[in-house]
């Protein structure tokens, strides 16, 4: 599953690829908890084991990708 986080006052987004099998509901609950408290920090661990922290007060939006992590790359023919 992919997570994209927009950060206030920053044109660049944070893209995180979570490990396969990550529980979507658990990730949403962690995001909701962080957004409910402006002094909280949202911690996520990517598929390589790196920990990423984003201060909740700076989060502009969070986008969750498909649960199965499907990515479409390339050109389509009509």
β 2-7/13-17 pair status: antiparallel
Q: Is residue 47 part of a domain?
A: yes
CA distance 30 to 41: 10
Residue 9, in any domain of the structure: yes
Residues spanned by the domain of 43 = 2-64
Number of domains forming the structure of the chain? 1
Task: Report yes or no on 6 lying in a domain.
Answer: yes
On whether residue 69 sits in a domain, the answer given is no
The confidence score (pLDDT) of residue 65 equals: 86
Task: Identify the CATH number of the domain in which residue 57 sits.
Answer: 2.30.30
Identify whether 59 is part of a domain.
Answer: yes
Q: What are phi and psi of 15, to 5 degrees?
A: -105, 125
Is 24 among the domain residues?
A: yes
pLDDT one-digit tens code per residue, 3-39: 999 999 999 999 999 998 999 999 999 999 999 999 9
């Amino acid at each position: 599953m992919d997570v994209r986080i927009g950060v206030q006052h920053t044109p660049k987004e944070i893209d995180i690829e979570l490990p396969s099998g990550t529980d979507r509901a658990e990730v949403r609950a962690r995001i909701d908890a962080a957004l409910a408290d402006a002094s909280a920090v949202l911690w996520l661990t990517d598929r390589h084991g790196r920990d990423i922290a984003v201060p909740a007060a700076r989060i502009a939006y969070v986008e969750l990708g498909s649960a199965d992590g499907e990515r479409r790359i390339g050109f389509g023919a009509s």
